[in-house]
Amino acid sequence: MCPATKKINRVIISGGGTGGHIFPAVAIANEIKQRNPTAEILFVGAKGRMEMTRVPEAGYKIVGLNISGLQRRITLENLSFPFKVFSSIRAAKKIIKDFKPDAVVGVGGYASAPVLFAGTSLKVPSLIQEQNSYAGITNKLLAKRVDKICVAYEGMESFFPASKLVLTGNPVRQDILAKEDKRAEALTYFGLPSNHKNILVIGGSLGARTINQATEASLAQMKAAGYGLIWQTGKFYHNQAQTATDNIGALNIKAFDFIRRMDLAYAAADVVISRAGALSISELCLVGKPVILVPSPNVAEDHQTKNALALVKKDAAVLVKDDEAGTELYPAAFALMADAARQKQLSANILKLAQPQAATAIVNELLNILP
């Protein structure tokens, strides 16, 4: 059957753990629904993880597996890990047999591996969506079993079979794709004056301790320079950050535990400080803002540094190492805020890397693997 005439009626999307996995998964689901409004989509996540609340908020049903990650240090929890894996594969097989999907999509996260393993064992067409520039061991192992692998970076042949690779980019939230000027709306939304330049700080959905500490230490300088601040702290740091911003007494310095209207946050920002998660980078490429990346050192295979370097090599971002953030981050940020020409150069270069049709391309590949 020609891909143009194929239709996805039932699909399972698995994975989660962070926004970097969840938002692409939801974007793929939304694209499927746009093409076939009657399609049935079932998410499979890990019990107790972020996806169990975020996915239903997006309007989709999700079921949870009792699965967690393998700890890097020796713990009692690691002793139960093999049993969780086998029980999760067994549970995933039952879910697949009951739901009878046309295809299975894995986006990364704890639940993705058992669902893809179960799906390929049952001969269900399967696809991996790899967000990062450095593939984790689980996806490398699963690559031999799945039909197609959609990636966001060039050069992924070192991790995956070249015959299965398709460069699609990372799907992002639909509101980020809205290109019209939202700055006036954004300034009103965040309660910021129109005559200030603004820094947006985003440390990922769970927060970033090093970035938060550097930001708190620089609040007085920020106030003196007259810069506005939109600061996503993460829930664990928010109380401390709120106290710090209250004490500084500047109405244009704002702290939030989580920002739901990221489209407006980007619109209000002149410079962005961010971790280098794959989703964050994909969004930053689309919005075209000058960005300083501070890769998290607490991720597998240091993949955030590799993500960041992919942009730095194209002069599309500034890199500050996590262990140097305390002394280097805000000098770099204030220098960039004062340099309009450098901002313009970084914006132009990062926009060249944008891939706004990622969700469309991934669903096209999903259709291609259907019988």
Q: Phi then psi for 29, rounded to 5 degrees? A: -60, -40
- Rounded to 5 degrees, what angle do the CA atoms 266, 269, 271 make? 110
Yes or no: say if 275 and 203 are a contact pair by the CB < 8 Å rule: yes
Q: Is 169 left (phi over 0), alpha (psi -120 to 50) or beta?
A: left
Q: Is 243 annotated as a binding residue?
A: no
* Cα 44 from Cα 65, distance rounded (Å): 7
Q: Is 345 annotated as a binding residue?
A: no
Of 147, 155, 154, 150, give the one whose Cα is nearest residue 170.
150
Q: Is 364 annotated as a binding residue?
A: no
The most distant pair of C-alpha atoms in the chain lies apart, rounded to whole Å, by: 65
DSSP assignment of 16-69: -SSHHHHHHHHHHHHHHHHH-TT-EEEEEEETTSTHHHHHHHTT-EEEEE---P
Q: Is 304 annotated as a binding residue?
A: yes
Q: Is 38 annotated as a binding residue?
A: no
Q: Is 20 annotated as a binding residue?
A: yes
What residues form the annotated binding site? 18-20, 132, 173, 205, 259, 304
Residue numbers in the known binding site for UDP-N-acetyl-alpha-D-glucosamine are 18-20, 132, 173, 205, 259, 304
